[in-house]
Amino acid sequence: MLPLSPSPQLAPVPDALDRSHILALLRLGDFSQDSFLATDSAGIVIYLNRSAGRLFGYRNGSALHLDVGVLLPEIRRVNERLGSLGARNSVLWRGYGLDHQRGALALVGAATHIPSPTGDSYLYVMRERRPVAVDRGRQAELASLVYRNTSEGMLVLDPKGFILDVNPAFVKLRGRDAGEVVGRHVRCLNSPCHDRDFYRAVWRTVMATSSWQGEHWGQHANGELYPEWLSINTSFAEDGQVYRRVMIFSNIAEIKQAEAIIWKQANFDRLTDLPNRQMFHDRLEQSIRKSQRSGERTGLLFLDLDRFKEINDTMGHAMGDELLKEAARRLSGCVRQSDTVARLGGDEFTILLNDIGDPRDVERLARSVLRQLAEPFRLGVETVFISTSIGITFYPDDATDAETLLNNADQAMYAAKAEGRNRSCYFTASMQEQAQTRMRLVNDLHLALDRQQFALDYQPIVDLSTGRIAKVETLLRWHHPILGRVPPSEFVPLAEETGIIRTIGDWVFCEATRQVAHWRSQFAQDIQISVNISPAQLRHEGLDHGFWRSHLDTLGLSPEHVIVEITEGLLIDSDDNHIQKQLALFHEAGIQVALDDFGTGYSSLSYLRKFDIDFLKIDQSFVSNLDTSNPDLALCEAIILLAHKLGLQVVAEGIETQEQHRLLRAAGCDYGQGYLFAHPLSADDFAALLVGDPALIPTP
């Protein structure tokens, strides 16, 4: 509260007046328009006139005995000022008071301090400060300008809901002339999209709170419906009665459309129009919640098209896209309306099945999906065949949350692929265990190199014509601190998936070449080292050939003494050009290349011509069956013949018996490897063998 300085107009209270005189005078104040208030020295209200009662909202003197701070929260500061001025002086002040119904009141007034032997008192006179007078004419002009020119439709109602006026925007929005609606009840604008309860609730809210706003479907005179944002407000007369209600309509069709597009983009796959990963997750969560309530199962199928990548690579992405679209159509045709088919990305799809009564229904569905997708796809002039692998899992049988359920389905799908593709596979607990073991192994694998848990074994490759060791294959060993020896068939694929194989592969190469350089110098042996490489080492940016070459230089080992073994799968699964370049780099460096496990993959002899290959290693599965009555012998003979014609030499893997040895020699096979000659050996044992040789198996 702001005390103004003592005003010259305010005369000091004359000495002759004592408190009783003053109170008698005050009584006259009941007839004043201004508000009078007197307190004792403690600030307790001892008097207020009628006008003050009205001002603060207290009837019949009920404000008597209140602390003045309740009515004038800041008045004590004025009192302090009065105190500093000396007795019987007055000050003007401006500040606020509190009406316990209307809240704060802007006030202006005067105060005076009256000392008295029977007790001091304070006297305050005040009135409400009125806002600066406004130019009503100008205000009305501005309002009308807005009303006529705004793009929002506006409509003015009388208190009973009859339409008094509409603005031009309303006429345009609804396609109705003012004459058509003015004078009618607002009910005539009700749209068929909302029922009577809706409008009743709206108007009930307007009555209670004087306003309402929300979405509403408006109807154009031509019958067209459109979404609008509707707000209803009330204007009151001076006496507090409803004067007018104003309705404002904004067309939000465009906003809604944009919202719908954004929503669709966020939740649906653009290519196939199927729900995307995001939407699928929402639906999966929903299904799980539904299952929790109903006790019925939810089924989840995870699908991955087999060899889609090859089609995409060979026929082009446009064709790949067509195939995915058609696959999506077929999948959608296999399921009920209540089920969800989603595309997670690439060639991965999921099917979510609600309320499964009988799990055999899922089996039937999976079979129908396999059948549907096995039908030929006609893409332009081409006809393409694909198949699919499906993993199946159930809630709540296999998992209790969405993420685990999806993981399970994914694992089951991988199992279906591993079992030969074009089939479905159920998730089992053992798959889960396998997955956990894999995860632990991957973790341990990351540490294995640093902790020196890797070692190399060496297995001799024997020249079949002399029986002497000509080459040696390096075989990687992992001594796990708890699991003991982990076979390469278990950890190499993991190392490939996680990319650790690159580091491990470099270590194998360095260690193996160091070892052979040592043996060559120590025992003056003419021996070649053969190192297995994983396809993963050649993909993407490929091997660090510079590093390999400089390592050989440091060792003083000529590259001709090194062979790399690659598996046939590498040639099938990869981009031809890239692999051709990688293999050419070995040749440029003088390193030879062997094609490992020949016969287990696609065994396309065209690869042998296309790529720079020096040796072919016949897989042990052929060798183990060899005898004179077996067709595998004819096959081995044919491979050897062909390889020789193409200028390649042949190594037979897995020779375990004299008979196999004899037959292969007779067929003209150049080299042999297997337990018959030696098992994979430690470096020391191999060195001993090397020294003890001249011929491991004396040739007959």
The interface region with ligand C2E, picked from 190-198, 236-244, 246-254, 654-662 by CB under 6 A, is 654-662
String marking each residue 532-571 x if it binds ligand C2E according to CB under 6 A = xxx------------------------------x------
- Residue 469 touching ligand C2E (CB under 6 A): no
459 binds, among Mg ion, ligand C2E, none (CB under 5 to 8 A by kind): ligand C2E
Handedness of CA 150, 155, 158, 161 (dihedral sign): negative
Place of tokens 């050009």: 577
Place of tokens 């079949």: 464
The interface region with ligand C2E, picked from 11-19, 242-250, 269-277, 487-495 by CB under 6 A, is 487-495
How far, in Å, CA of 204 to CA of 219, rounded?
A: 22
Distance between terminal CA atoms of the chain? 123
- List helix spans (H) across 335-474: 359-374, 402-418, 429-448
Cβ-based nearer residue to ligand C2E, 476 or 517: 476
* Token pair listed for 689: 């063998």
How far, in Å, CA of 427 to CA of 416, rounded?
A: 10
If DSSP codes are grouped into helix, strand and coil, which group holds residue 592?
Answer: strand
The least distance separating ligand C2E from the CB of residue 512, rounded to whole angstroms, comes to: 8
**482 phi/psi in degrees, rounded to 5:** -110, -45
In the DSSP assignment, the letter for residue 72 is -
User: Contact residues for Mg ion (CB under 5 A)?
Assistant: 532, 565, 596-597, 653
How far, in Å, CA of 523 to CA of 516, rounded?
A: 10
Contact pick of 654, 663, 669, 696 for ligand C2E (by CB under 6 A): 654
391 binds, among Mg ion, ligand C2E, none (CB under 5 to 8 A by kind): none
654 binds, among ligand C2E, Mg ion, none (CB under 5 to 8 A by kind): ligand C2E
476 binds, among Mg ion, ligand C2E, none (CB under 5 to 8 A by kind): ligand C2E
String marking each residue 613-652 x if it binds ligand C2E according to CB under 6 A = -------x--------------------------------
- Residue 656 touching ligand C2E (CB under 6 A): yes
Cβ-based nearer residue to ligand C2E, 78 or 533: 533
Residues 431-460 touching ligand C2E, rule: CB under 6 A, are: 459
Cβ-based nearer residue to ligand C2E, 329 or 477: 477
Q: Write out the E strands in 516-582.
A: 528-532, 562-567
* Token pair listed for 492: 């190499």
How far, in Å, CA of 639 to CA of 626, rounded?
A: 14
String marking each residue 567-606 x if it binds ligand C2E according to CB under 6 A = -----------------------------xx---------
* Token pair listed for 511: 């260690």
String marking each residue 508-537 x if it binds ligand C2E according to CB under 6 A = x-----------------------xxx---
Cβ-based nearer residue to Mg ion, 251 or 534: 534
Within 13 Å of residue 383, how many CA atoms lie on the same side as its CB?
3
In this structure, the dihedral spanned by the alpha carbons of residues 259, 261, 265 and 269, taken in order and rounded to 10 degrees, is: 140
Residues 111-170 touching ligand C2E, rule: CB under 6 A, are: none
Question: In whole angstroms, how far apart are CA 591 and each of 536, 565, 584?
Answer: 19, 11, 10
Cβ-based nearer residue to Mg ion, 152 or 653: 653
The least distance separating Mg ion from the CB of residue 635, rounded to whole angstroms, comes to: 16
* Token pair listed for 687: 């060195």
The least distance separating ligand C2E from the CB of residue 598, rounded to whole angstroms, comes to: 10
How many of the chain's residues bind ligand C2E (CB under 6 A)? 24
Question: In whole angstroms, how far apart are CA 198 and each of 214, 233, 430, 453?
Answer: 11, 17, 57, 74
The least distance separating ligand C2E from the CB of residue 457, rounded to whole angstroms, comes to: 7
In the DSSP assignment, the letter for residue 186 is G
674 binds, among Mg ion, ligand C2E, none (CB under 5 to 8 A by kind): ligand C2E
The least distance separating ligand C2E from the CB of residue 584, rounded to whole angstroms, comes to: 20
Cβ-based nearer residue to Mg ion, 444 or 653: 653
Burial class (CB in 10 A: 0-12, 13-18, 19+), 22: middle
Q: Rule CB under 6 A: which residues touch ligand C2E?
A: 459, 474-476, 487-489, 492, 508, 532-534, 565, 596-597, 620, 653-656, 673-675, 680
